[in-house]
Amino acid sequence: MTEKNMHKFLTIVIPTYNRERQLIRLLQSIERQDAVDKYYVVILNNHSDYDVKEALSKAFSGDFLDNIVYYDRPYNAGGDYNIGSAFLFAKTDYLWIIGDDDEVLDGCFDIIGEDIAKYPDIPYFKYHIQTHSSYDEDLIISDIDEFKRHFYQKRFCAGDVLFVSNNVYNLRLAGDYVPTSLYYSYCSIPHALPMLRCLADKRPFVWSHREIVSYHAPEGDHWNYVKIATSFSTVLDIQAGADYATTERFFRILSQHFEPRDFLAECLKVKDKRYARYVCRKGMATLFRNRFLASRYCRFLYGVERATGIKALTRHIRNKEWLRAKRRQFIDSDNFLYRTYRKLKNK
């Protein structure tokens, strides 16, 4: 290792596909940290329809640009595999996978460096997304019972687990878990499978109370409930360790992130009725199998709308989206009531 690179401790791998503007925004947030001596950047270009290297050469220069390594796939390998294969491109013991449409927060590399020094024997770190942290100390989680307890205490939510960009891996210790992420990359959350393996092996990992990344909702085509039904449900295929009950409980906790009404509304958009029927049955048998009343009521409304065209189900969706938009507007306004709520929640 050269003198110039001897302090680099982190590899940032960015899987990307056709998001030039968002990718540049992310890299600008990394460059802004003025910490190029601490990390490498690897771009996994999933056969985008523009020249990624040329675009970044126009946007950046100097040591930051020289610190970027490119891998261009000869074809689109799919988002799940592009994320799962990120483990293979680490140039250091520590790996941070970041989605191309997110941004890092100021001070993120200091936070990660401090945690590495504080927890040298921890294989996996999970961080909070900006404005999502609800407590003032790190959680050391070592089994599925602790994971479930903290989840129901609202220390984190299923969306925090499913998120790609808030994971840092110590590959020196978590390297044995990488084959699981590669083999089951079709499950839509290959980046979260080291967490499942830690829970199954009763191996402690850290859920940090600190925030290192800002989430930006994807633009254009992205995951929807139909894709989730045919991929996320395969988490149940995974035998992580000797105790399969851990996999079932992990899946049951995360599946609460999905609502039967939203899922069935997506099924209504599928023109091929035979495929829609298959996906509907699969979703009911996996994602919603423990939510009997809600799923049966929504499925009845789905059947009425599919058969008659009357908006028995989807007429409710707009109201839900309106409420989400209002809640986001309330949070972004830095309202006094919201600040008070956050203070009370953090006590």
Please say if the pLDDT value at position 235 is more than 50.
Answer: yes
Cβ atoms of 14 and 43 closer than 8 Å: yes
| pLDDT band for position 326 (cuts 50, 70, 90) | low
Please report which confidence band the pLDDT of residue 323 belongs to, taking 50, 70 and 90 as the band edges: low
Confidence of residue 345 (pLDDT cuts 50, 70, 90): low
Per-chain mean pLDDT for the chain: 88
Superfamily designation of domain 3-214? Spore Coat Polysaccharide Biosynthesis Protein SpsA; Chain A (3.90.550.10)
What is the reported pLDDT for 218?
Answer: 74
11 versus 320: the higher-pLDDT residue is 11
- 19 bridge partner residues: none
- What does R_g of the chain's alpha carbons equal in angstroms? 21
Pairing of β 167-170 and β 94-97: antiparallel
With a cut of 90, say whether residue 199 has pLDDT above it.
yes
- At residue 4, the pLDDT reads 44
Res. 273: pLDDT tops 70 = yes
Residue-range domain boundaries for the chain = 3-214, 225-317
Q: Is 230 exposed, middle or buried (0-12, 13-18, 19+ CB in 10 A)?
A: middle
Residue 100 contacts residue 15 (beta carbons within 8 Å): yes
Which amino acid belongs to residue 260? P
